[in-house]
Amino acid sequence: MSDVLASKTTIIALCGKGGVGKTSLSATIVKILAENPRARVLAVDADPAVGLATALGVTVTRTVDDIRNDLIRRVESGETTDKGQLIQMLDYEMAAALSETGNIAFLAIGRPETEGCYCQVNHILKDLIAGISDNFDFVVIDGEAGIEQVNRRVMERVTHLVLVSDASVKGLNVASTIQQVSEGIIKYEKAGLIVNRLRGSHEYESLVVPENLMCMGWVPEDDAIRNGDMAGKSILEMDAGPALRAVEKCLTGLGIKV
């Protein structure tokens, strides 16, 4: 297990093979956590496709990478500023990039346009994201397939790493591989697998889960979520169904108080 993170903020990062329902699961977790009106929840979309915005009914006007790319263009054009002014400017722009509705805030990472290291810029932006996260009780990160992008562009530490798979052998193997490589990439307190979109307990019982994965449970295929996705409806607007109740159990298994 990776080094323990001491933090008052519960930070949940979801990763897994494309197409296994990470985004719907991330949005469902946000919905569950936000049902406590005293809890402040930050949803971070770290997938360039920005699918979490659609699932939560959020309109994205500016991303972290928009801020990053604008800054890089200014640096390359010869514009200079001291570090203090730079951090102050970026802090203001990051705050402006947040979309807030009730007790939920949303931040999209976006897609970098400029190749190259620009390590100082990346470190400053990651520090600012970490600073923003400290103001919330929960942070839910919808990541790409692997954990590398979360580490490089969002944060180096999370409290809970959630591997998501469907019932396919390929999906389970990808989750297993992410678990293996995550040990040297990101720090976390606890990791667990959630198997998504099953058609019943018989499918769950027949799964052959890789030995390095700790399964927290399974989530059934939910017609309400499927139909809502097809209609472009926000998960926040949907009534509680079997998927939501199953996700609540999985969060409890991970030690996350909802």
Read off the pLDDT band of 5 (50, 70, 90). Answer: very low
Read off the pLDDT band of 53 (50, 70, 90). Answer: very high
How far, in Å, CA of 99 to CA of 28, rounded? 18
Neighbours of 19 (CB within 10 A): 12
Architecture of domain 10-251: 3-Layer(aba) Sandwich (3.40)
Residue type, 197: R
How far, in Å, CA of 112 to CA of 182, rounded? 23
Domain ranges for the chain, please list them: 10-251
Q: Is the pLDDT confidence value at 67 over 70?
A: yes
Residue type, 168: S
What is the per-residue DSSP string for the chain? -PPPP--SSEEEEEEESTTS-HHHHHHHHHHHHHTSTT--EEEEE-STT-HHHHHHT---S--HHHHHHHHHHHHHTT----HHHHHHHHHHHHHHH-EEETTEEEEE-----S-S--HHHHHHHHHHHHHHHTT-SEEEEE--SSSHHHHHHT-SB-SEEEEEE-SSHHHHHHHHHHHHHHTTT-B-SEEEEEEEEESSHHHHHT----TT--EEEEEE--HHHHHHHHHT--GGGSPP-HHHHHHHHHHHHTT---
Those residues whose C-beta lies under 8 Å from the C-beta of residue 237, and which sit 6 or more positions away, are 57, 228
The pLDDT of residue 203: 94
Does the global pTM surpass 0.75? yes
Q: Is the pLDDT confidence value at 2 over 80?
A: no
Query: Which residue, among 22, 7, 20, 250, has the nearest Cα to 150 in the 3D structure?
Result: 22
Task: Specify the range with the lowest mean pLDDT, choosing from 29-38, 143-152, 202-211.
Answer: 143-152
Which residue has 């018989």 as its token pair? 202
Q: What is the pLDDT of residues 27-47, one digit of tens each?
A: 999 999 999 999 999 999 998
The pLDDT of residue 223: 87
Which residue has 């199953």 as its token pair? 246
What is the per-residue DSSP string for 20-79? S-HHHHHHHHHHHHHTSTT--EEEEE-STT-HHHHHHT---S--HHHHHHHHHHHHHTT-
Q: What is the pLDDT of residues 92-128, one digit of tens each?
A: 999 999 999 999 999 999 876 655 556 677 788 899 9
Q: Is the pLDDT confidence value at 159 over 60?
A: yes
